[in-house]
Structure 1
Amino acid sequence: MTEVHEHAFVVQGALVTDVVGTLPAPVLSTPGLIAMMERAAQVLATHHIPPGTTTVGFEVCIRHVAGAPAGAHCVARATLREIADGRKLRFDVEVLEGDRTLGVGTHERRVVPGAAPPASLP
């Protein structure tokens, strides 16, 4: 099984860090990198789960191998590798800036009951 979802994003806002002022300029943080990987996997997961359910991140194993400055245009890519027991979705994930790999690894999500749709406002 191989299906891919890509999510383009700009390194900005909550995705950046300057490591409490110890870097000369803000860069993509490791938590930001992981968040974009998880987002790509979550969007792809929605195509493979029953109605009324959602997924939650369960395991992340990544390497943050290169930096990207604030303002960089990047792509998070998730490739669905396996669905086990109908509830465990396993992904290969990566973040790229052009042809340059910023982060690479694996991510697992689990199917859980979804929240009820919000009530209509009067």
Structure 2
Amino acid sequence: MTTRSCPCGLPGSYEGCCGRFHAGAGAAPTAEALMRSRYSAFVKGDAGYLLRTWHPRTRPERLDLDPGTRWTGLEVLERTAGSAFHTTGTVTFRASYRGGSLQERSRFERLDGAWVYVDGDLLD
């Protein structure tokens, strides 16, 4: 059996990293871990996880992912707060896809003890 590495870029298998969050076997412990798991959900096409981890006040009713987008890498550029000791945090990252990349500063909050994505600003 071949173990696949996690799309988020951290060492280890998908199942032992972001896959466990996608499967509901725990919640991401930090804002960065949530951001990484959300990137992996984009790679895997898991719109359900993306919606479940989106703050209710900013979450869309539905999310249509483009099946033609091929995500190729994630680079965390900066993080502020977002640990187990914080209630908010930001993560700035660059997500690459075949043909380009996007850079975003994402905002996260803890809601009922779990990190959720609030919104983000696309950067140049």
**Normalising TM by the smaller chain, what interval?**
0.3 to 0.5
Larger gyration radius, structure 1 or structure 2: 1
Higher RCO, 1 vs 2 (CA within 8 Å, ≥6 residues apart): 1
Q: TM-score, normalised by structure 1?
A: 0.33
Report the structure, 1 or 2, having the larger helix content. Answer: 2
